[in-house]
């Protein structure tokens, strides 16, 4: 069974249902990162600032290294990546990491973006409809 790393925002409530849909068509889907909750990054930042740490220092801290290792482990074990927009810098870096490892990486937009960006051509394909993404992924499931 192939594994999809589902990439997106902690604040996107659609992530779990998208994960269920992808499981229903025969994939192992890694979306466990979403369980940290919508404020996880904000709380980490608050905690590190309270300790007097800069962003650079916080990135070298135990929590940041552990979270990074957890996500990287699952990214590198994935066969396919799907970035769900809207997504932030981390999500786009994760998609780039997968693409750089010659893994297929898809983008599912939540609608046509107000500002277009040519660089999404790095993705294997882009979709504006979940059904179209599912139809493409079904061909990769085996």
Q: In which domain, by residue range, is 131 found?
A: 3-138
Mean pLDDT by runs of 10 across the 142 residues of the chain is 98 98 98 94 97 98 97 98 97 98 98 96 98 96 76
Predicted local distance difference test score (pLDDT) of residue 5: 99
Tell me, yes or no, if the pTM score tops 0.85: yes
- Whether the Cβ atoms of residue 102 and residue 96 lie closer than 8 Å to each other: no
- pLDDT value of position 141: 82
Alpha-carbon distance 105 to 77, whole Å? Answer: 14
| pLDDT score, position 7 | 99
Tell me how far apart the alpha carbons of residues 96 and 80 are, in angstroms, rounded to a whole number. Answer: 12
Give the number of domains in the chain: 1
Q: What is the CATH number of the domain that holds 83?
A: 3.40.50.450
């Amino acid at each position: 069974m192939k594994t999809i790393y589902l990439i997106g925002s902690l604040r996107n409530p659609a992530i779990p249902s998208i994960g269920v849909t992808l499981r229903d068509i025969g994939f192992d889907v890694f979306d466990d990162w979403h369980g940290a909750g919508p404020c996880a990054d904000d709380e980490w930042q608050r905690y590190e600032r309270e300790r007097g740490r800069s962003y650079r220092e916080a990135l070298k801290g135990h929590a940041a290294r552990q979270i990074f290792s957890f996500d990287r482990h699952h990214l590198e074990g994935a066969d396919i990546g799907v970035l769900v927009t809207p997504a932030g810098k981390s999500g786009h870096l994760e998609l780039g990491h997968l693409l750089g490892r010659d893994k297929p990486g898809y983008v599912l937009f939540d609608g046509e973006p107000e500002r277009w960006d040519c660089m999404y051509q790095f993705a294997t394909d882009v979709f504006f409809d979940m059904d179209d993404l599912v139809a493409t992924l079904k061909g990769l499931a085996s």
